Amino acid sequence: MTEPTIHHEPGNMVRNQSDEWLDTVPKGTFDIERHGLQGRPSVTAHILFVCPNGKRCSVFLGSTFENRRNPNEPCVWAWDGNEEHPTITPSINCIAEKDGKPTGGCGWHGFITLGRMT
């Protein structure tokens, strides 16, 4: 599979709806897929994106933020519904370690606002 080379300003996000991404997709590449999540009626979609640390990150999206109901469930981030220039709140904190143990997160903590990572 060949993907076009995409050049964009640091922080700007570019949607890529390919079924598979090459390992070389640039930071800021993202896609949003609309779907639900069994047992979490507030989930309307999820976003997959390459964060400023170069890692692939993903969060569930809904109309309002919903914290974990228990430690085994994910949070749901508030999303404005814009698939091309999304705003997601609150900030995304991809914790890399907790209590001295790795969590699998990348360590990026930031915002996605109007399709821009800060």
pTM value?
0.84
- Average of per-residue pLDDT across 53-81: 93
List all residues 6 or more positions away from 101 whose beta carbon is below 8 Å from its beta carbon: none
Say which residue the tokens 């999820």 belong to: 46
Domain ranges in the chain?
14-117
- Average of per-residue pLDDT across 33-43: 93
Q: Is 24 exposed, middle or buried (0-12, 13-18, 19+ CB in 10 A)?
A: exposed
- Residue 104 to residue 37: CA distance in whole angstroms: 22
- Residue 11 to residue 112: CA distance in whole angstroms: 9
Predicted confidence (pLDDT) at residue 96 exceeds the cutoff of 90? no
